[in-house]
Structure 1
Amino acid sequence: MFPKPIEKSSRSVQIGYQSMLPVALILWLLPLIAVALFSVKPAADFSTGDYWNLPSQFGGWENYGKVFFESDMPRYLLNSILITVPTAIGAVALSCMAGFALGIYKFKANLWLFFMFVAGNFVPFQILMVPVRDLTLDLGLYNTKTGLVLFHIAFQTGFCTLFMRNFIKGLPFALIEAARVEGVAEWRIFVYVVLPLMKPAIAALMVLIFTFIWNDYFWAVVLTQGAESQPVTAGITSFNAQYRAAYHLMSAGAIVAALPPVAMFFLMQKHFIAGLTLGAVK
């Protein structure tokens, strides 16, 4: 029923696995390697059509210097932080409360409300592009960081609630019953009993939501324009000239934009893995 561990396979299968693993890893990393290579190539290499050879000279200092000091990239990075951090905090906070209500309390509409949260995750975002844009225009939130934050919180809360509700369902209900017997108020049960047990799940969800929002490009283009409110994913396209794309600057910008999610993952790696694997082994 389950795949046989590679250690128990024949020697020929093990050798084939060990030889193909580096090849698969290189193929998987090839786009990232290409972007990193482009980011240190001088502009002259792209003018002559020399895309895939090694750089004729190292242009990394010049490329990254232009990205940081001769463009709006610092402003785009700041916009991404001001959009991503409040969104992650807001979505996780709302989902903790909604997950607690749906996971602990039993009422008639419980399952229907949970289905509504889940169903929202299956709506294709593309079909909402026009109505959401019109709504932000009517509310005066178009081309604002606040509008993008509110939109992301609204759409990410469904997935977060699904995650949190299932996590809370797995907690020992005896702890909550014991607190109720002692006369503890419901909000104190949530804050002092349930919330401390949710720390691994909160850490895992924060990393996921941070990465989702930081890497969002579609809604960043639909709901914002210009350096005053666009995040870094949309701001990288500003390196496109009218007749020629500055691939070396776009690649350098892409590497810079990828660093915060990577740093976030490594900082929260211990809690992230604990949150994902909690309950996997009894």
Structure 2
Amino acid sequence: MFPTPIERTGLPVRTLYRVALPVALVVWLLPLIAVALTSVRGPADIVAGNYWGWPTQWQTVANYTEVFTQTPVLRYIGNSFLVTVPTVIGAVGLACLAGFALGVYRFKANLLVFFIFVGGNFVPFQILMVPVRDLSLQLGLYDSITGLVLFHIAFQTGFCTFFMRNFIRELPMELVEAARLEGATEWQIFRRVVLPLVRPALAALAVLVFTFVWNDYFWATVLIQGEHAMPVTGGLKALNGAWVSQWHLVSAGSIVAALPPVLLFFVLQKQFVAGLTMGATKG
């Protein structure tokens, strides 16, 4: 039923694995390598079509300095934090409450409500572009950080609830029953019993949602127009000049924009792995 571990396969399969894995890794990293090299090239290389070769002129300090001093990338990064952090807090907080209700309580509409949360994840978000934009205009939320945060929370809560509900259902319900016998209220059970037990899952979910929202380009360009609220993913396209393509600045800005989720992952790496593997084994 499960794939055979590589250590137990024959010599030809192990040899093919050792050869194919580095090749696949290099192919996967090629776009990232190209962006990294372009971020330290001079404009002359790009004009000459030297996209993949070794840079003839290194401008590592100059390019990154120009990104911070000559472009509004810091404002874009600040806007991304203003969008992403409240979204993570709102989506994860709502998902914890909904997941607790769906995972602990047994009521007739439990599965129906759960399927509604899950079903929303199967709707292609591109088809919602026009109605969401019209709704944001009617509510006065268009071209604002508040509107983008609210819509991100609405779209992320379904997946987060699915994630948290499954983790909470794996907890020993005897702990909940024991807390009730001790006279604890439902809020105390949620806050003092359930939340400490699902802390690794919360860290994993926070990293996932942070990455999803930080890297979002679609809604950033659909719901935001002005630089005052534009996240960094949408703002990178503005780093190109009106008449000249400044791909070295776009590449440098892309590297800078990719750092926050990468750093967050490394900071919460242990909790992230523990959250994803929580409940994978018993005993």
TM-score (norm 2): 0.97
Counterpart amino acid of 1:113?
A: V
1:242 aligns with 2:242: yes
Question: What whole-Å deviation, never above 9, does each CA across 1:173-215 have from its counterpart, x for those lacking one?
Answer: 0011111111111111111111111101100000000000000
Shift of 1:132: 0.7
Inter-partner Cα distance in structure 1 for 2:134 and 2:4:
54
Check conservation: 2:39, 2:252, Cα contact below 8 A: yes
Paired residue for 2:22? Answer: 22
Aligned to 2:270, the other structure's residue is in SS state helix
Paired residue for 1:59? Answer: 59
Unaligned runs of 5+ in 2: none
Counterpart amino acid of 1:199?
A: R
Paired residue for 1:195? Answer: 195
Inter-partner Cα distance in structure 2 for 1:96 and 1:139:
27
Inter-partner Cα distance in structure 1 for 2:143 and 2:277:
39
Shift of 1:219: 0.2
Check conservation: 2:99, 2:168, Cα contact below 8 A: yes
Segment of structure 1 superposing worse, 264-273 or 18-27: 18-27
Segment of structure 1 superposing worse, 14-23 or 187-196: 14-23
Inter-partner Cα distance in structure 1 for 2:112 and 2:11:
53
Paired residue for 2:276? Answer: 276
Aligned to 2:54, the other structure's residue is in SS state coil
Shift of 1:139: 1.2
Alignment of 1:117-128 (within 5 A): 117-128=117-128
Paired residue for 2:262? Answer: 262
Paired residue for 1:155? Answer: 155
Shift of 1:24: 1.3
Inter-partner Cα distance in structure 2 for 1:3 and 1:155:
34
Alignment of 1:127-138 (within 5 A): 127-138=127-138
Counterpart amino acid of 2:260?
A: P
Shift of 1:21: 1.8
Question: What whole-Å deviation, never above 9, does each CA across 1:35-90 have from its counterpart, x for those lacking one?
Answer: 00110010111122222211111111111111111110000000001100010011
Check conservation: 2:45, 2:57, Cα contact below 8 A: no
Counterpart amino acid of 1:103?
A: G
Residues 193 and 33 of structure 1: CA distance in aligned 2, closer, same or farther (over 3 Å): same
Unaligned runs of 5+ in 1: none
Question: What whole-Å deviation, never above 9, does each CA across 1:1-52 have from its counterpart, x for those lacking one?
Answer: 3332222233333223212221111111111001001100101111222222
Question: What whole-Å deviation, never above 9, does each CA across 1:240-260 have from its counterpart, x for those lacking one?
Answer: 233432111111111001000
Inter-partner Cα distance in structure 2 for 1:257 and 1:80:
9
Alignment of 1:167-186 (within 5 A): 167-186=167-186
Inter-partner Cα distance in structure 1 for 2:68 and 2:146:
25
> Percent same amino acid among aligned pairs?
63
Inter-partner Cα distance in structure 1 for 2:105 and 2:17:
50
1:36 aligns with 2:36: yes
Aligned to 2:245, the other structure's residue is in SS state coil
Paired residue for 1:71? Answer: 71
Root-mean-square deviation (CA), in Å?
Answer: 1.1
Aligned to 2:107, the other structure's residue is in SS state coil
Instruction: Number of aligned residue pairs: give it.
Output: 282
Inter-partner Cα distance in structure 1 for 2:106 and 2:94:
19
Inter-partner Cα distance in structure 2 for 1:173 and 1:16:
47
Segment of structure 1 superposing worse, 39-48 or 73-82: 39-48
Inter-partner Cα distance in structure 1 for 2:106 and 2:192:
21
TM-score (norm 1): 0.97
Check conservation: 2:34, 2:51, Cα contact below 8 A: no
Counterpart amino acid of 1:229?
A: A
Inter-partner Cα distance in structure 1 for 2:269 and 2:188:
29
Shift of 1:169: 0.6
Inter-partner Cα distance in structure 1 for 2:32 and 2:221:
23
Counterpart amino acid of 1:73?
A: V
After the TM superposition, which parts of structure 1 deviate over 4 Å for at least 4 consecutive aligned residues? none
Inter-partner Cα distance in structure 2 for 1:154 and 1:56:
48
Shift of 1:225: 1.5
Question: What whole-Å deviation, never above 9, does each CA across 1:103-158 have from its counterpart, x for those lacking one?
Answer: 11111211111111111111111111111111111111111111000000011000
